Amino acid sequence: MIVEAKNIVKRYAERIALDHFSMEVYEGEILGLLGPNGCGKTTAINCILSLLNFDKGEIKVFGKKMTPSSYDIKRKIGLVPQEVSVFENLTVRENIDYFCGLYVDDKYERKKYVEEAIEFVDLKDYVRFYPKKLSGGLKRRLNIACGIVHKPKLIFLDEPTVAVDAQSRNFILEGIKRLNGEGSTVVYTTHYLEEAEMLCSRIIIMDNGKDIVSGTTEELKAMITASEKIVVSFINIEDKIINLMNSIPHVIDIERNGEDFIIKFENGINNLSNLLSFITEHNLTYTKLYSKLPTLNDVFLELTGKELRD
């Protein structure tokens, strides 16, 4: 285990930012911290990195207690902060070289690392540019390069794709996968469901400073009652037929949304074929019919009673 945080409580005056929050990070994984804005993701990272005091709990990183002067631990860590954090009056290459030099003393090794980082984020055409001359996406890439240039064993990426265009976002996500492939353990905070689902080998869902649940995407989806939703639009359906649909095996709820009926099924097989049999049996006509597998948003909705996108 690389990071172990147990029952962390962090208060800002009357507000609780972290409420007995716990998390573990295992070597080689990409752990996603998923939750809405303000749920405590960044606070959790700041506490782990000893940037913030906390009121209760215990944090160990690489098996040791993390303090502001844990320089040996800090050597193994890379941080990509939520906000672009670079020197505005240093060029792209100078910024990357500066941060690399805080970890790597050897000049030749440093040069090699800097070149590799520039290559990694594909900024070779911009090495002489100052950050203010870069677009938002390119700045984010520079922000990432400064955090990973020393090839850390553990990387914290705090919402690195916020306010980034689709092309840059894909580039960043692919890059994170490559970093993980090269042996880095990654902690990735996001409020984007799709990113967490696509990228993370394990996810911790957070809300109101609490770790609600953790597991792989499949494990999380298996936790919810409605494991499948089928959306269907009928032509001239009677109310008594709608009520009869509740007798279809595994149906747990039927929701009407305009012309569409959202039929929720609990865990089970043949849900779609059972519904089609019911339609045939009652001579129903429909204009559209499709099945929706549960998303992380459904998981969040069921666990917290609200949408992650709220």
Partner 1 sequence: MSNIIRNCMYQGKNLFREGSLLFWSVIYPIILAVLFYAAFNGIMDSSLDDINIGIEESNEIFHVLEEMDFINVHIITENEVYEKLDNEEIDAFIDSNLNLTVDESGINQTIIKEVVEEIKQIIKLNRPIDGFEFFVSYVQGKNQEANSFVVIFYSLIAMVSTYGIYAGIETASLVQANLSNLGIRINVTPLKKQNFLIAGVIVSLLMNLFANTVLLLFINYILKIHLCSDLKHSAVFILLGNLFGVILGVFIGVSNKKSMSVKTLIAIVVTLLLSFLSGMMGPWIKIMIDKYIPLLARINPISIISNNLYRINLLGSTKSVGEGAVILLFYCIVLLFLSYIFLRRKNNDSL
Q: How many residues does the chain have?
A: 310
Task: Give the count of residues interacting with partner 1 (CB under 8 A).
Answer: 34
Q: Does 286 bind partner 1 (CB under 8 A)?
A: no
Which 3 state secondary structure label does DSSP give 96? Answer: helix
Per-residue binder mask for partner 1 (CB under 8 A), 147-166, x = binder: x-------------------
DSSP 248: S
Q: Does 94 bind partner 1 (CB under 8 A)?
A: yes
Between 8 and 275, CB nearer to partner 1 = 8
Closest contact distance (angstroms) between CB of 147 and partner 1 is 7
Between 46 and 304, CB nearer to partner 1 = 46
- Residue type present at position 273: S
Per-residue binder mask for partner 1 (CB under 8 A), 101-140, x = binder: xxx-x-----------------------------------
CB atoms within 10 A of CB 51: 14
Q: 101 to each of 104, 118, 301, how far by Cα in Å? A: 5, 15, 46
Q: Does 25 bind partner 1 (CB under 8 A)?
A: no
Sites for partner 1 among residues 174-193 (CB under 8 A): none
Burial class (CB in 10 A: 0-12, 13-18, 19+), 98: middle
Q: Does 87 bind partner 1 (CB under 8 A)?
A: yes
Which 3 state secondary structure label does DSSP give 30? Answer: strand
- Phi/psi at 41 (nearest 5 deg)? -60, -55
Between 16 and 51, CB nearer to partner 1 = 51
What distance in Å separates the CA atoms of residue 33 and residue 203, rounded to the nearest whole number? 6
Q: Taking the CA atoms of 109, 110, 115 and 117 in sequence, report the sign of the dihedral they define.
A: positive
Closest contact distance (angstroms) between CB of 158 and partner 1 is 9
What does the binding site for partner 1 look like in residue numbers (CB under 8 A)? 12, 46, 49-53, 67-69, 71-72, 74-75, 77, 79, 81, 83-90, 94, 98-99, 101-103, 105, 146-147
